[in-house]
Amino acid sequence: MPALRARVFLMAAVCIVLVAAAPARGAQQVSYAALLKQIKTGPLIRAVINRAGGDIEIKFNNLAEWKAFYPPAAQPMLQRLLHERHIRVIFASRHHARATKPRSVHHHLRYIAAAVLGALALAGVAFAYVRWRRTRKPAHGDAAAS
């Protein structure tokens, strides 16, 4: 029983720690000048450039993230700086919606046709079995006369 209490206490402690853990934080919004300074000298591990949104997000060695909007003409310079420092660059893109094709219903018709053929085959087997039983079974009056 003491082992059970210890397990329950341990599970409760783990649950409390998991519930009390701080939720993940998003990228901190900073000015373009502060972000540019960190790109030039900071301890970065990667950068994500979102061309459609006009923003860049950088991630530091301590896993903190900064995000800032850049001027439209600044993207080539940002790419050059990141490339010179050998920092991994990811280009975010929007997911393109696939053109939806009208769904084919041929497989439904196949299942219906297979069910009809199966029912007909089953009816044919039942009919043949009934005919076979009738021809095999002698009448009661004929059996007494022989």
On the question of pLDDT at 23 being above 70, the answer is no
For 117-128, the pLDDT digits (tens) are 999 999 999 999
pLDDT of 99 reads 75
pLDDT of 57 reads 92
CB 138 within 8 A of CB 146: no
Residues 69-100: b if buried by 16+ CB within 10 A, e if exposed: ebeeeeeeebeeebeeeebeeeeeeeeeeeee
CB 49 within 8 A of CB 56: yes
What average pLDDT score do residues 93-114 get?
76
- Distance from the first to the final alpha carbon of the chain: 85
Higher pLDDT, 5 or 140: 5
Residue 67 to residue 55: CA distance in whole angstroms: 7
Averaged pLDDT score across all residues of the chain: 81
CB 55 within 8 A of CB 68: yes
Of the candidates 49, 29, 138, which has an alpha carbon nearest to the alpha carbon of residue 89? 49
Higher pLDDT, 84 or 104: 84
Residue 40 to residue 35: CA distance in whole angstroms: 9
pLDDT of 107 reads 73
For 36-87, the pLDDT digits (tens) are 898 898 899 999 999 888 899 999 988 899 999 998 888 999 999 999 999 9
Looking at the chain, which runs of residues are DSSP E strands? 28-29, 44-50, 55-60, 65-69, 88-92
Cα–chain center distance at 94: 17
Computed on alpha carbons and rounded to an integer, the radius of gyration of the chain in Å comes to: 38
Flag the least confident range among 17-21, 33-37, 111-115, 118-122: 17-21
On the question of pLDDT at 142 being above 80, the answer is no
